[in-house]
Structure 1
Amino acid sequence: MIPAEIRELFPILKQEVNGHPLVYLDSAATSQKPIQVIEALKHYYEWDNANVHRGVHTLGSRATDAYEGARAKVAKFIGAASEQEIIFTRGTTTAINIVAASFAESVLREGDEIVLTPMEHHSNLIPWQQAAKKSGATLKYIPLQADGSISLADVENTITDRTKIVSIVYVSNVLGVINPIKEIAAIAHKHGAKIMVDGAQSTPHMKVDVQDLDCDFYALSGHKMCGPTGIGALYGKKSLLNNMEPVEFGGEMIDHVDLYESTWKELPWKFEGGTPMIAGAVGLGAAIDFLTEVGMDNIYKHDVQLTNYALDRMMQIPDLAVYGPTTNRAGLVTFNLGDVHPHDVATVLDSMGIAVRAGHHCCQPLMRWLEQSSTARASFYLYNTEDDVDRLVTALLKTKEYFGDAIG
């Protein structure tokens, strides 16, 4: 387990909520920020605040160095072959939309196939629905097993020579499923398709190597990996990005402008129109430094151990249903407590200082597959401890007692 002292680096966790020490179990929605990230943002605004790429003055040069330095950190962190393969975006949603709007428009034709799974977050579903409507392509779904995982046999049966794009989440934000991306990528490529990976939930919790996975595109969000909100990145193989058209136009991304024609800058800047999220990139770079120092293997082991501990304890609570596989899963547990609405469960837990998520988690098709309108979710990160889990279990037992007849 990661030392408990790590928790001391997160100032927000030192507060009380409703008279109780805060137990934050909503990191799948957004992670908390260590002091190193907070200080990096503060230092940027106090000392280096200037626009990038445009000015030759000292502050502009320092801001540009910090911004591009963060890009280099992202590239190294996920194993990209080149910094030119890293496009800064507002987050995973924007990154997926870029691929669905630009790449998809260039390759999809009527009768082509886009392959997804029912476990996708809306951010990796709706853009492809729109791409299918515009192109006449067909959406196909890899079926789920009884525990919510997918089998490679079903992947083989779903992807065909008509498949042009496979877009799949690496780690489900509801089920905790870790999908076999490397094997799925090999199957997709065998049929001439390209693969987009939603890495929002995987990048914070495990070592990622996009070259080893051989994915064509990969998206991540900074705010789920100890970084600021409003910053993320799209990785794309250079050969693909070079042939894609930008989706936003304006300053920063142009090379030459005439009254009737314009040309674009080279990668990665042709996709970064307007003033970029400079401070966000600086904060993301600091977050990557922090995670690298802790060690991604250590974080993964910590998450697995804590999740297994939580599963063992929570599954002993009568009338509590847990969703997703019991093995090979990431750091979250999604559950329902009898017939009590998840929002009511979350409200009672909050009264005891415990923050969990309740709702459909932007996965309405998956909720229908689970035959639930909504669920509650406790999600863990490197600053959580077994004591946090113990407090959750105790609070759930009190919640069960509080609602009484509504259980079962």
Structure 2
Amino acid sequence: MFDIQEIRSQFSILNRQVNGKPLVYLDNAATSQKPDSVLEVWNKYYTELNANVHRGIHTLSQLATEEMELSRRKIQKFINAKHDFEVIFTKGTTEGLNLISYILTQKLKKDDEIIISYLEHHSNIVPWQLLCERTGAKLKVIPIDENGILQLEYLDQYLSEKTKVVSVNQVSNALGVVNPVEEIIARTRKSSDAYIVIDGAQSAPHFQIDVQKLDCDFFVFSGHKMYAPMGTGILYGKQEILESLPPFHGGGEMIATCSFEGTTYAALPFKYEAGTPNVGGNIALGAAVDFIEKVGHENIQKHENALLEYAQKQLLEIEGLKVYGEKAKRAGVVSFNLEGVGIASDVGMILDKMGIAVRTGHHCTQPIMEFFNIAGTVRASFAVYNTFNEIDLLVEGVKKAQRMLS
């Protein structure tokens, strides 16, 4: 049974006040708050288990290793990877995407093509631009319509034997638009042997992920957006692909043998996990998976969809308010502006005085803002602990901002 008050009781930070008002935290697309159970696991590592992993025969090292590898297996199940060694610990989505773009360097040559979409975060644009600079490859971009919906007929036009990479997000961080990644993958497989990369930073917190069913080659996401500590993330890659590609970083842990004459590399996953990992964070990421599965994917999705529907309905009753991506299928985000009101950050500052945390600006998606000919938006984004009352407070805050700024 879904009990919102019981869920909220697990997040101590939600009891605090901001500017003398109860905190209303609606910036979950930037980072989610962390349940006490996750923080307790993180703290337990540093107070009871602190040691490096995979390297020591002493008790603490063995226990820390067991806990981190247990977390890897939890994440394997969470995304339905075929093998636990296909799950690579990273610092987050950005590092995962940079890792992929770097190790694919030898697979591209001049005039090869990479396809991304207009809806991408900068972290799914810049690494591919850098890959183009290194190889002479060309970047192609799937356009959007006025609702932020991808125009997939352009994907069909772009796909060819020159296509080496197709990389898109599953959910837009700026608009919340849910992209038809299953269809994108199917169309790509039909017309090309390109590597398919899915940015799951905004989807992993909101609904069930099945990488085998998707049949993507790579899937990346961040821990801190799904109730885990910052500095944690996952790169999933198919075994045969990861084994065929070179390492990203060189150093400890990722070697099989090392001499001045040459080095051989460790088996997966350690080939891509050079140096000391974020052990406490990685273990706590497993605890975040436990939290999500205890609440239930279906419960989370149902509650968040209801919040989104209610928020959009209430906000659109405000005269002069525009929601971007209004007609698109969305998850967890409502992004809007008020006509005739300065800049989005002015609205955000007034909301902050009322204890309401939202994100304002371009959300690291400047091409989207340029498409809509705006500098930025006000973005309210939801998590499982948010309530309908908080949305009512948001709406009243937006009305107040409109009165003050008009």
- TM-score w.r.t. length of structure 2: 0.98
Q: Residue 93 of structure 1 aligns to which amino acid in structure 2?
A: T
The aligned counterpart of 1:34 is 35
SS in 2 for 1:46: helix
Displacement of 1:327 in angstroms is 4.3
- Name the SS for the 1:54 alignment partner: coil
Distance in 2 between residues matched to 1:164 and 1:179, nearest whole Å: 20
Identity of paired residues, percent? Answer: 47
Cα distance in 2 between the residues matched to 1:260 and 1:374: 54
Contact 2:358–2:379 (CA under 8 A) maintained in structure 1? yes
What's the secondary structure of 2:9's corresponding residue? helix
**What is the number of equivalent residue pairs in this alignment?**
403
Look up the match of 1:79.
80
Q: C-alpha separation between the residues in 2 aligned to 1:111 and 1:298?
A: 47
Do structure 1's residue 345 and structure 2's residue 359 form an aligned pair? Answer: no
Cα distance in 2 for residues equivalent to 1:327 and 1:167: 20
Provide the residue aligned with 1:396 in structure 2: 398
Kept in 1: contact 2:308–2:333 (CA 8 A): yes
Q: How does 1:326-405 map to 2 (within 5 A)?
A: 326-338=327-339, 339-404=341-406
**Paired residue secondary structure (2:139):** strand
Q: Measure the CA separation in 2 of the matches of 1:294 and 1:285.
A: 15
Match in the other structure for 1:281: 282
Q: Which residue of 1 aligns with 2:149?
A: 149
2:259 equivalent to 1:231: no
Written as runs of structure 1 = structure 2, the 5 A alignment for 1:189-268 is 189-190=189-190, 191-268=192-269
Residue-by-residue CA offset, 1:9-57 (whole Å, 9 max, x unaligned): 1000101110110000000000000010011011111111100001111
CA–CA separation in structure 1 for the residues paired with 2:160 and 2:371? 24
Residues 292-323 of structure 1 show CA distances to partners (whole Å, capped at 9, x for unaligned) of 11111211111111100000000111111110
What letter corresponds to residue 346 of structure 2 in structure 1? Answer: D
Please state how far the C-alpha of 1:2 moved relative to its aligned partner. Answer: 4.2
Give 5+ residue unaligned stretches, structure 2.
none
Question: Hey, what's the Cα distance between the residues in 1 that align with 2:325 and 2:86?
Answer: 34
Q: Kindly state the Cα deviation for residue 62 of structure 1 after the two structures are TM-superposed.
A: 0.4
The offset of 1:326, in angstroms, is: 3.0
Q: Give the AA of the match of 1:234.
A: L
Amino acid at match of 1:139: L
Partner residue, 2:311: 310
Q: Provide the aligned C-alpha RMSD in A.
A: 1.1
What are the superposed Cα offsets for residues 92-121 of structure 1, whole Å, 9 maximum, x if unpaired?
Answer: 000000100002x12111111100111100
What residue is the counterpart of 2:16 in the other structure? 15
How many angstroms apart in 2 are the aligned matches of 1:2 and 1:332? Answer: 21
Within a 5 Å distance, the mapping from 1:285-300 to structure 2 comes to: 285-300=286-301
2:93 corresponds to: 92
Q: For 1:209-253, what per-residue CA distance to the aligned partner results, in whole angstroms no more than 9, with x for missing partners?
A: 011111110001000000000010100010100011111011111
TM-score of the pair, normalised by structure 1: 0.97
Instruction: Give the Cα separation in 1 of the matches to 2:319 and 2:71.
Output: 48
SS in 2 for 1:400: helix
Which residue of structure 2 lines up, in the alignment, with residue 129 of structure 1? 129
- Who is 2:138 aligned against? 138
Is 2:46 aligned against 1:57? Answer: no
Work out whether residues 87 and 269 of structure 2, in 8 Å CA contact, stay in contact via their aligned partners in 1. yes
> What amino acid maps onto 1:381 in structure 2?
A
How big is the shift at 1:3?
2.2
Instruction: Look up the equivalent residue of 2:245 and give its one-letter code.
Output: M
Offset at residue 161 of structure 1 (A): 2.3
Q: CA–CA distance in 1 between the matches of 2:155 and 2:386?
A: 35
CA distance in 1 between partners of 2:55 and 2:40 (Å) = 26
Equivalence for 2:118: 118
User: Counterparts of 1:162 and 1:135 in 2: how far apart (Å)?
Assistant: 13
Secondary structure at 1:392 match in 2? helix
> Secondary structure at the residue paired with 1:223?
coil
Task: Report deviation, 1:151.
Answer: 3.6
